[in-house]
Amino acid sequence: MAITTFSVTFAFMKRAKKIANTSSKIFLSLLLGGTILYWMYRDFDFSQIKEVLLHGMNWSWMLLSFPFGILAQMIRGWRWRQALDPVGEHSRKSVAVNAVFLSYAASLVVPRIGEFTRCAVMKRYDDVSFTKALGTVVTERVIDSLLVMIITGLTLIFQIRIFDIFFARTGTRLDTFFTQFSLTGWIVTVVCGIAVIGLVWYLARRLSVHGKIKDMLHDMFLGVSSLRQVNNAPLYVFWTLAIWACYFLHYYLTFFCFDATSGLGVDCAIVTFIVGSIAVIVPTPNGAGPWHFAVKTMLMLYGVGSTDALYFVLIVHSVQTLLVVLLGIWAWAALSFTAKKKQKELGRNMLTDR
């Protein structure tokens, strides 16, 4: 009886700790984003928003941008299915796409939870290995990050003057950042980096002796290495480029909604798009706060007035976030009517289709 009571108490405490950790992440995320937004809009006249929404913008361009936002997430689901095939995991197109839809919506509540959400959906409805799926998600994040880094590098080269002004106004200068490190500082940084790598390697070796954890790490490795065996590699590359092309068009077409931004060129759109993409790394719901600040600052460097820039970032971010919410609701409803299938059945169906 005492053992049972202890087990129940331990389970309750573990559950409570998990809930507390999740709640703290949500609170800190909202606090960070809310603080930045409050600082940006503390003297803003919100009474004019209604006028801008009804008479000060062209909604046709906003509606035209929606298909590209939806298509970007759909292609991400299609690409994900392609990465899962080499590791022996199969999924239906509808489940993969709805899993991505739902993951973006979930990340609005708990930042970065989307990656786990989409893997859990695949596990629930198509019996896809959670760890293998997570490995493929890690792979695609690396691929996307590399692509963004390449685009960022090219953009920096061709728009270095604008970025130099941006760094100066925000108190950051690339030419003086690294000079702040002394020789001792560099040595400490290198030693710490080596120590972290060594610790990760040691823990991986220690954990791998346990069967369950070893299997989990093995499945994740298979997922990560799936890219080497992906069928039709050119198609995978095409999907990757198409995803980011759609993201860009989803953003760029909103420029034509407002008089203040309609005359800006593609170069401004690319610069602000890249800066905004980097800003959303900060763990706030859909990048709220950091995205507003980064894009608004860059727009002002291209000659857009402060008030007009604030209107742009507030309306565009709010509308695009609403689209993410609607897609999440759609996915939740669609999955509610989706039958669960096992891997064997899915494998037979795929062989028949081929």
pLDDT in tens, 271-282: 899 888 888 777
Task: Decide: 267 and 315 in contact? Cβ < 8 Å.
Answer: no
The percentage of residues in the chain with a pLDDT greater than 90, rounded to a whole number, is 28
Assigned token pair, 191? 């030693």
Phi-psi map region of 289: left, alpha, beta (phi>0 left; psi -120 to 50 alpha): left
- DSSP-H helix ranges across 283-342: 290-301, 306-336
Name the domain count of the chain.
Answer: 1
Average the pLDDT over 53-65 and give the result: 90
pLDDT of 14 reads 52
Residue 120 to residue 222: CA distance in whole angstroms: 18
Confirm whether 41 is domain-assigned. Answer: no
Q: Give me 33's structure tokens.
A: 């984003």
Domain residue limits at 179: 48-353
Please give the distance of CA 140 from its chain centroid, rounded to a whole number. Answer: 11
Q: Does residue 295 lie within any of the structural domains?
A: yes
**Cβ-contact 101, 107 below 8 angstroms:** no
Chain-centroid distance, C-alpha 155: 21
Q: Report how far residue 187's alpha carbon sits from residue 238's, in angstroms, rounded to the nearest whole number.
A: 42
Helices (H), 159-252: 160-169, 174-177, 183-207, 211-224, 233-252
What's the rounded Cα separation, in Å, for the pair 148 and 158? 15
Structure tokens at 282: 């900060």
311 close to 257: Cβ distance less than 8 angstroms: no
Say whether pLDDT at 133 is over 80.
Answer: yes
pLDDT of 99 > 90? The answer is yes
Selection from 58, 63, 57, 66 nearest residue 250 by Cα = 66
C-alpha pair distances (Å), 278 with each of 94, 108, 209: 30, 17, 38
What average pLDDT does this structure show over 42-68? Answer: 85
Mean pLDDT computed over every residue of the chain: 77
| Token pair recorded at residue 266 | 């593609």
Q: Where are the alpha helices (DSSP H) in 42-92?
A: 49-55, 59-84
- How far apart CA 160 and CA 138 sit, in angstroms, is 31
Per the CB < 8 A criterion, the answer to whether 137 and 115 are in contact is: yes
Of 82, 123, 122, the residue nearest 101 (C-alpha): 122
pLDDT at 214: 54
Whether 230 has a pLDDT exceeding 80, the answer reads: no
User: Does 313 or 202 have the greater pLDDT score?
Assistant: 313
Considering only CA atoms, which of 38, 121, 104 is closest in space to residue 321?
Answer: 104
Would you say residue 35 lies in a domain?
A: no
What whole-number percentage of the chain has pLDDT above 70? 64
Does a structural domain hold residue 247?
yes
Q: State residue 210's pLDDT score.
A: 47
